[in-house]
Structure 1
Amino acid sequence: MRKLRIRTFTMICLFFVPTLPWIFFVIAHFMDTQTLSIANNHQQNETLQRHLTETIHMIETGTNKWEDPSWQNQLATLLQKTKMDVVIQSPTNSEIFRSNPERRSAFSSTEQFSVIEDGHLIGRVSVYLPKSNSVQMISALIGLLLAFFIVGVEMRRFLLKPLEKMSLAARQIAGGDWDVQLPSSRITEIAEVRDGFEVMVKGLEQSYRKQVELEEERRFVIAAVAHDLRTPLFALRGYLDGLEQGIAQSPEKVTKYVAVCKEKSVQLDRLVEDLFTFTKMEYLGMESNNKTLNFTYILRKSIDSLSPQAQQKHISISNHAVDDCFINGDSHLLERALDNVMDNAVRHTPSGGEVTVQCYKDSRKVIFTIRDTGPGFYSEELERVFEPLYRGESSRSRSTGGSGLGLTISQRIMRQHGGDLVASNHPEGGAVLTGWIPLPDPD
C-alpha cells in the first residue's frame, strides 16, 4: 500500500475542499438548465429583466382588460415564453387572474407591486420569476459541508487514530504490558514514527528481560558464592583454631595444618578472582584492549604457567600448535581464558595422564583444542558446562578446587572476541574443549 507524506495529504485535502462544492454546483446547474455553460447567466439575466419589464408594462397598460379572457390568454402566452407566472388581485384581495394555479416553488423570486390610477388602487400584482441559482448555491453549500466532513473523517483515520493508538500503547508499555498492537498508517511520517516506536518497544523489552535475567543470575551467584566461601572459610578457621589452641603439637601436624590453610586460602583467592572477573564482564561490560597478537605465543604461555601443577600430578602436556596465528584481541583476557581451560584440563586429568593441545588456522579463523584423559563430561553436563557456578557430577565437583566460573569466563571472553568455546567428549575418552577466534580482515 502506497504511503503519503503529510504535506501531500494536506495538499489533497486543500484541493478537495473547494472541488467538491464546485462539482455539486455544476451538477445542480446542469439539472436546472440542461447545460454546463455558466457564462450565459449574465445574458439570461438581461433577457429576464427585459421580459419582466414587458410583462409589467402589459399589465399596467391593460388594467381595463384584466378580466378579458382574450387579454388573459395573451398574457399567459407571454408568461409561458418567459417562464414567469402572474397573480392579479383586486384591492379587496380577491383573485382576478392566476396564470398557474399550482403552488410556486420556494426557490422562485417574486416581484410584487400595486397598480394605481388617479390616486386610486386598481389592484395588486405578484410576478413569479423563473427559478434563480439558489438551488446551485445550496448544492454548493452542501458540497462544502460534505467536503469538510470527508476531510475530517480521513484526517481522523490517517492521522489522529494512529496517534491515539500509539499513545494507548505507550501507556500499556508503562504498565508493563509488552504485548501491544501498534497501528499502521498510510502517512509516511506516522509510519516512520510507528516503526521507530516498534524498535524502541523491542529494545525496551529485551533490556527489561535482560535485566530480569541478570537480577536472577545475580541472586543465584551471590547465594552460590556465599555457600562456596563458607566451606573453605570454615575449614580455614578450624585449622587456625587448632594451631592457636596448640592441638597441632608436633612439627609434622603444624606443617600439615599450615599446608591445609594455604590450600584453602588459594581456593578462596581463586574463587574471589573468578567472581571479580565474571562480575566485571557481566555487569560492567569489560572493554577489551584489542591489538595484533600471536595466539600461539599466548597458548604457549598458558601451558608454561600450568606446567608446575601438571608436573606435580605427573601429567604430560603435548603442544601441537602451528606458528604465526595472528589475531586481534586483548592478550590479558585471552591468557585468562586459556589459563582457565588448561587449569580445568589439568585438574580433571588423573595422575599419569596427558593433556593434548592443538592449534591451527584455516582461511577465516584460528582454532584450538585442549583434550584431557580424564573421565570426560556426562551427557547432562555438556548442556550446562558453561553455566555460571555449575560443577556437574562428583568427578568435577568442588573437591577439585574449581569455582564453577572458569569455563563460563573463558567462553564469554571468546565470544567477546567474535569467536566461541564449546565442550565435547573424545571418542577415545576424556573431555575436549574447542575454541576459535576469527582472523583479522585483510587490508
Structure 2
Amino acid sequence: MKTIRIRKFTLLSLFFISLVPWVFLVTAHVINTKTFSFDPTDSQQANLKQTARLIEANMKNWTDQAWQMQFSAYLQEQDVEAEIVSAAGEVIFQSNAAGERRFTISEQFSLVEDGNVTARVVVYQQNSRAIQLIAAFAGFLLALFLVGLAMRRWIITPLEQLSFNARRLADGDFEVELPSSRMKEIADVRDGFQVMVRGLTESFRKQIELEEERRFVIAAVAHDLRTPLFALRGYLDGLEQGVARSPEQISKYVAVCKEKSAQLDHLVEELFTFTKTDYRESPLQRKLVDFGQVCKQAVDTITPQARQRDVSILVKEAEASCSVLGDAHLLERALTNMLDNAVLHSPQNGKIVIEYEQIAGNVSFTFRDEGMGFTAEELQHVFAPLYRGEESRNRATGGVGLGLTIARRIMEQHGGELHAANHPDGGAVLSGRIPAASE
C-alpha cells in the first residue's frame, strides 16, 4: 500500500478544503448567470436596463394581451420578473400571475408623463450572490466531511485499534490483528508494533519451552539421583545389618558403594558444569591455550575407561600448533565429554579417531567412533539437555545425558560450534570449530 506523510496529507487536505468551495461557487455562478464573469454589470444590470427600456417604450401596449404574452416570454427567458402598477394602485401587468415571488427586488422606478406619475414599475431578479455563497458553504461542508472521513479511516481508526491491541497484548493476548494505514508515520508505528508482537510471541514461546525443559531437568535429575542413592542406601543398610559377613562380601558391598558414590559425584559435577555454561553472563578465563595439549589431557583422562572396553584412541595431530583463546579447563571438559560419548557407544575392540587442524582462522576438529551411529531422532535431540537415545535411562547404556549438551555450550561460549552426524563408512562423528588465536 502506497503511503504518504501526515504533513503532506495535511497540506493536501487544506488545499482540498479551499478548492472545493471555490469550485461550487464558480459552478453556481455559471449556472445562474451563464457567464464566467463575476461583474454584475455585465449580465444582471444589462438585463435590468433592457427590461426597463422595453417597459418604457411600450407604454401604449401595456394592456395589450399579445404584448403581455410576448413580454412575459422575454422575462422568462431572461429569468426576470416584472410588475407594472398604475398610479391608482391597479396592477396593469404582472409576469407571475400566481403572485408568488421567487426573486428579490432588484430595481423599481416610476414613469412620469406630463409631470404626472403614470405608473410604478418593479423588476425582480434572482439574488445570485446569495446562491453562490450557499453553494460555496455547501462545498466547504462537503470538503470537511471528506477530509474527516479520510482522517477517520487512515489516522484515527488505526490509532484506536493500535491502542486497543496494546491493551490486549498487555493482557497476554498475542493474537492481535494490526490495522493498515496510508499514513507513513502510522504505518511505521504499525510495523514496529508488529515486530514487538513477534518478539514477544517468540519470547513467550521460548519461555514456555524453557519452563518445560526446567521441569524435565528437575524430573530427570531426581530420577538419576534416586537410582544410585537407593542402591547406596541398600548396600549401606546391608553392611550395617550384617548381611555381608565374609570379607569378600564386605569388600563387594564397599566397592558397590564407592561406585555409586562416584556416579553421584559425576552427576553433581555434570550438573554444576551445565549450570555454569547455562549462565551466559559468566565471563570466561580466556588465556592462550594449545588445543593439541588440551586434546592430549582429555585422552589421558578417558584412557582408563577406554581400556576397560578395549577401545583404542588414535590422535592425528596437526602439523602446526593450534592455539586458541579460552578456558583450558572448560575446553578439556568439552573434549572429555565427547570422548566419553564415543567410548560408551564404541564396540568391543573399537577405535576412536581424533583429527584437528587450523583452517581459515579456525581450529577444526572431528571425533569419529566405530559404533552404530546416531538414529534420525537422536540427530534431532542429541544436544538437548538430559537426552539419551534409549528411554530407560539405564547407566549401563549411557551417561547422565548432559555431556554433549555441555560440550556444545562450551564451544558456543568460545565462539565456535559443534555438530553431530554419521560417517558414510559407519559410526558417529562429532565435528566442530573454535576461532584460532591471532598471531
* CA offset digits 1:35-66 (Å, max 9, x no partner): 3333x34x5599579959x959x99xx9x989
2:297 corresponds to 1:301: yes
Q: 1:110 aligns with which of 105, 112, 125?
A: 105
Does 1:87 pair with 2:90? no
Q: Does 2:220 correspond to 1:243?
A: no
The letter for the 2-side match of 1:34 is K
Residue of structure 1 aligned with 2:251, choices 252, 255, 274:
255
Within the candidate set 131, 136, 155, 1:135 is matched to 131
Quote the residue 1:321 is aligned against.
317
**What is the alpha-carbon root mean square deviation over aligned residues?**
4.1
Alignment of 1:399-438 (within 5 A): 399=396, 402-426=399-423, 429-438=426-435
Question: What pairs up with 1:349-388 in 2 under 5 angstroms?
Answer: 349=346, 352-363=349-360, 365-378=362-375, 380-388=377-385
289-298 vs 13-22, which deviates more?
289-298
Deviation for aligned residue 1:146: 0.7
What's 2:10 paired with?
10
Using the alignment, how far apart are the partners of 2:198 and 2:86 within structure 1? 89
Q: CA deviation at 1:245?
A: 2.7
What is the Cα deviation at residue 241 of structure 1? Answer: 1.8
Aligned counterparts of 1:396 and 1:221: Cα–Cα separation in 2: 13
State the SS of the aligned residue for 1:398. Answer: coil
Aligned AA for 1:5? R
1:288/1:329 contact within 8 Å kept: no
For 2:220 and 2:165, the matched residues in 1 are separated by 40
Equivalent AA in structure 1 for residue 104 of structure 2: S
Deviation at 1:266, TM superposition (A): 1.7
Deviation at 1:14, TM superposition (A): 1.3
CA contact 2:79–2:125 (8 Å) conserved in 1: yes
Q: Could you tell me how far apart the structure 2 residues matched to 1:394 and 1:210 are?
A: 25
Residue number among 189, 192, 195 corresponding to 1:193 in the alignment: 189
Instruction: Give the count of matched residue pairs.
Output: 428
Matched-pair contact (CA < 8 Å) for 1:280–1:286: no
Conservation of the 8 A alpha-carbon contact between 1:375 and 1:395: no
Give 1:105 deviation, angstroms.
6.6
| Alignment-derived partner of residue 30 in structure 2 | 30
Contact 1:267 1:401 in 2 (8 A): no
Offset, 1:139:
1.1
Match of 1:216 among 185, 192, 212: 212
Alpha-carbon contact 2:47-2:78 (below 8 Å) kept = no
Structure 2 gap ranges (5+): none
- For the Cα contact (< 8 Å) 2:370–2:426, is it kept in 1? yes
CA contact (8 A) 1:391 1:397 kept: no
Deviations 1:301-349 (A, max 9, x none): 3223323444555543221121433445444433322121122223444
1:82-114 deviations in whole A, cap 9, x for unaligned?
9753324469975332245477773x3226989
Contact 2:288 2:326 in 1 (8 A): yes
In 1: Cα distance, 2:163 partner to 2:273 partner: 43
- Which has the larger displacement, 272-281 or 21-30? 272-281
- Structure 1 residues 356 and 132, CA gap change in structure 2 (3 angstroms): closer
Q: Of residues 157, 160, 164 in structure 1, which corresponds to 2:156? A: 160
Q: Which residue of structure 1 aligns with residue 280 of structure 2?
A: 285
Structure 2 distance, partners of 1:88, 1:187, is 65
Q: Distance in 2 between matches of 1:182 and 1:82?
A: 61
> Once the 2 structures are TM-superposed, how far is the Cα of residue 376 of structure 1 from its aligned partner?
4.2
Greater Cα shift, 238-247 or 194-203: 238-247
Distance 1:380 1:318 in 2: 29
Q: What is the distance in 2 between the residues matched to 1:418 and 1:103?
A: 101
What's the CA shift string for 1:8-50, capped at 9, x where partnerless?
1111111111111011111222223333333x34x55995799
Shift of the 51–231 alpha-carbon distance from structure 1 to 2, 3 Å rule, reads same
Contact (CA 8 Å) 2:313, 2:354: kept in 1 or not? yes
The CA distance in 1 between the partners of 2:351 and 2:335, in whole Å, is: 17
Unaligned runs of 5+ in 1: none
Measure the CA separation in 2 of the matches of 1:149 and 1:369. Answer: 74
Distance in 1 between the 2:87 and 2:431 partners?
A: 122
Residues 428-437 or 153-162, more deviating: 428-437
